[in-house]
Amino acid sequence: MDLGLGDKVVIITGGSKGIGLSCARAFLAEGSRVAIVSRAEANLKAAGHELGASASALITVSCDLTRSDAAILLVEEVEQRLGPVNVLVNSAGAAKHYLPKDLNAESWHAGMDAKYFTYIHSMQAVLPGMESRGKGSIVNIIGIGGKVANPVHLPGGAANSALMLATVGLAHAYGPKRVRINGINPGLTMNERMQEAVRFEAKMRNLSADHMLAQRQALIPMRRYATPEDVADLTLFLASEKAKYVTGAIIPMDGGSNPLL
């Protein structure tokens, strides 16, 4: 299926690892021109080497998206090097976990900075250009923790909830300008952090990592964790013209683990 993404300019925040990196690989396969963004230069270098695309198809940009001015400069750089931005995929930021007794004002602020404001700043940076051109698509990768409260992930969950509201609210506001904004709610995803968590729990319980993984996945109705590629597939669809009438949608992707309306 031709998704019509050839030669589209795509910014992917958090594009050096996990879901973001899988999205970058998928967009490049469609012929898009991609800018992957991360704060860590070393991660960007490794991702660029792994993706192996030409300089005309892939650029890497180091940027701290907790700063709104940095997000504006990021978009300016991408547009100078690749052209006007057609698609923004937000996959950056991971709020820390805290025990409830350890929560304080700083931990709540840190959660919003790590997840909420990184997405808001990048959206605010691309929206004026998309509005003036009368087209554009934004896909926000927002954890399912914004719908299901986890006692050890409350700041991050609160940030995710706020992002869902911002996603649907901005979609409503920018719909008349033909700018579509959607969100995906992945559940547990088999990435580096999840693999490390499985190994840690297996060691605590004196089990093999494979046995621990099987136990965990048996609790999911689809009997497996999502892969980053699963999330990338849906991201590409939402970014493409095949989803041209989809906006303001928040799509759960947790294998049926949380039967929520």
- Helix (H), strand (E) at residue 23: helix 18-29
Section 135-158 average pLDDT: 89
Domain range enclosing 117: 9-189+226-253
* 14 pLDDT higher than 70: yes
Distance CA 223, CA 214 (A): 9
Section 138-163 average pLDDT: 89
Distance CA 31, CA 118 (A): 27
Section 108-126 average pLDDT: 94
C-alpha distances in Å from residue 256, one per residue of 46, 194, 211, 243, 253: 34, 18, 22, 23, 8
Give me the half-sphere count of Cα atoms (radius 13 Å) on the Cβ side of residue 261. Answer: 0
Domain assignment present for 78: yes
Residue 32: CATH number of its domain: 3.40.50.720
Distance CA 183, CA 202 (A): 33
Strand partners, 186: 253
Average pLDDT, the chain: 92
The 10s digit of each residue's pLDDT in 61-106 is: 999 999 999 999 999 999 999 999 999 999 987 778 788 888 899 9
Domain assignment present for 201: no
Domain assignment present for 132: yes
Q: Place 200 in a pLDDT band, splitting at 50, 70 and 90.
A: low
Domain assignment present for 118: yes
Q: Place 150 in a pLDDT band, splitting at 50, 70 and 90.
A: confident
Domain assignment present for 216: no
Section 37-57 average pLDDT: 91
Q: Place 53 in a pLDDT band, splitting at 50, 70 and 90.
A: confident
pTM over 0.75: yes
Domain assignment present for 196: no
Domain assignment present for 172: yes
Q: Place 235 in a pLDDT band, splitting at 50, 70 and 90.
A: very high
